[in-house]
Amino acid sequence: MQNSEALALAAALLAAAGELTRHINDGVVARGFDGRPAYGFAFTRLAPDGATVTELATHLGVTKQAASQLVDELVRKGYVERRAHPADARARLVVLTGRGWECTRAAEEAAAEAVRAWSDVLGEGEVAVLRDRLVRIAPHGPIRPTW
C-alpha cells in the first residue's frame, strides 16, 4: 500500500465516523431529546448496569474531570443518576434513569437508520463484515476521535 493510501484510509474512516455520529445525533434530537453526540456513547457504557465516572472517562478517552462534568450535565437533563456504589464507598455508580433509557433507545434507532443507508449501498452482509473488521482492529480503544 502506498503511503498516501494510508492517509486516504484515515480520511475515509474519519469521514464515515463523523457522518454516522452526526446522523445519530440528528436522529436523537429529532426524537425530542436535548443532547450532543457524546451522550449516546456514554449511554452505551452506562447500560445496562451503570458505571463509575472513572470507567466512563476511560471509555470516552477523556480525563475523569471531564467525565464528571459530562455526568453533571446528564444529571441536570434527567438522563442519569448518581448512586452510592455497592462495593466501594469512594465511588459512585452512575445509572440511567427512565428517560435515559428512552434516549438510549432513540440513539439506537437513529444509528440503525443511518446504517441502513449503508446497507443499501454495500449490502447488509458487507456492513456486518465491516463492523467485524473494525472491531478486530480497535477492540478496546477509547471512543474518541480527538483532533
Partner DNA sequence: ACATATGGTCAAGCTACTTGACCATATGTA
Partner DNA sequence: TACATATGGTCAAGTAGCTTGACCATATGT
Binding site for a second copy (CB under 8 A): 1-22, 24-25, 36-38, 40-41, 44, 61, 105, 107-109, 111-112, 114-115, 118-119, 121-122, 124, 126-128, 130-131, 133-147
Take residue 69 and report the three cell numbers written for it: 462534568
Q: What is the CA radius of gyration of the chain?
A: 17
Site for DNA in 35-54 (CB under 7 A): 36, 38, 52-54
| Interaction mask 71-100, DNA, x per CB under 7 A | xxx--------x--x--xxxxxx-------
Least distance CB 46 / a second copy (angstroms): 13
